[in-house]
Amino acid sequence: MSLSIEPLGPALGAIVHGVDLSEQLDNATFDGLYDAFNRYSVLLLPDQHISPEQHIAFSRRFGELEEHVLRDDLLDGQPEIYVLTNKTENGKRLGRPKAGWYWHTDLSYQANPSKASFMYALEVPTMGGDTMFASTAAAYDALSEPMRQMIGGLTAEHDFRHARETFAKHYGAEPISEEAFKARPPVVHPMTRTHPETGRKAIYVNEGFTSRIMELEREESIALLAFLYRHSTRPEFVYRHRWSAHDFVMWDNRVTMHCALGNYTEDRYMHRTTISGDVIE
């Protein structure tokens, strides 16, 4: 296969042509795709036609796969696939509706936050339902040196419950069981992280799951986090993806955060795999 890669934005994102995920990628093609993933942080592979088994097999080449703690929203027989949809069947929902309608980094509330997420769009609305991605690496680069030094010495708590209490319950998202929250207790991570493959530094807080800065007083924590959220989502750091059916989008959770937009009423049906990550040093 011959890769063709075209940037989609100044800070992150590229569209990749010349890849068919229904076929086994040769090593040279995979290596080129992997390099592009590290370089652009978000990759769009349009017009893919793959089965859940092919989705999983491709994802496994990037690492071990996570099984999401929200087990009711996993694909029957394929627990590596997390289903995000507003569709129902015989009165039963087929996956998680209203998922991620706030800026977040997938699974940052785990001791080993996820490396990457790969989303495959099977059905999309004719209008709305875009996903915005922000480069937390570009945002870090744009900070002043004193601010980089300050946050480089701080840590923050990431709490799965925080998104539910702060955002999701206010727009009517499906409830989450206490058992799921207990299975993912709060964790503490450094507020900056270094990408293990590129060496690039990034801000590592997000408004969905970051609940507080450990070393600061409450009001100081609120003020600094609010600044970092505004700063990290400035337009020059953001790529907004308008989904088409059969888009396959890959994003690097180590240097990005994202926000799904809930401005749609038609059917939306997505499959997502999540690649396990490492402890942040």
Does the annotation mark 60 as catalytic?
Answer: no
Integer Cα distance of 168 and 187 in angstroms: 20
Helix (H/G/I), strand (E/B), else coil: 92: strand
Does the annotation mark 104 as catalytic?
Answer: yes
Catalytic residue among 55, 73, 96, 106: 106
Tokens of 81: 């696939």
Kind plus residue range of the DSSP H or E element containing 160: helix 160-166
Neighbours of 238 (CB within 10 A): 21
Catalytic residue among 161, 184, 258, 268: 258
Catalytic residue among 68, 104, 189, 241: 104
Does the annotation mark 272 as catalytic?
Answer: yes
Catalytic residue among 68, 158, 254, 272: 272
Integer Cα distance of 75 and 155 in angstroms: 35
Does the annotation mark 17 as catalytic?
Answer: no
Q: Residues 6 or more apart from 52 whose CB is under 8 A from it?
A: 75, 78, 81, 271
Counting other chains too, the contacts that 145-148 makes at CB distance below 8 Å and 24 or more residues apart are: 148/192, 148/201
Taken in order 66, 53, 119, 140, the sign of the CA dihedral is positive
Tokens of 5: 């890669």
Integer Cα distance of 211 and 239 in angstroms: 25
Residues acting as catalytic residues: 104, 106, 258, 272
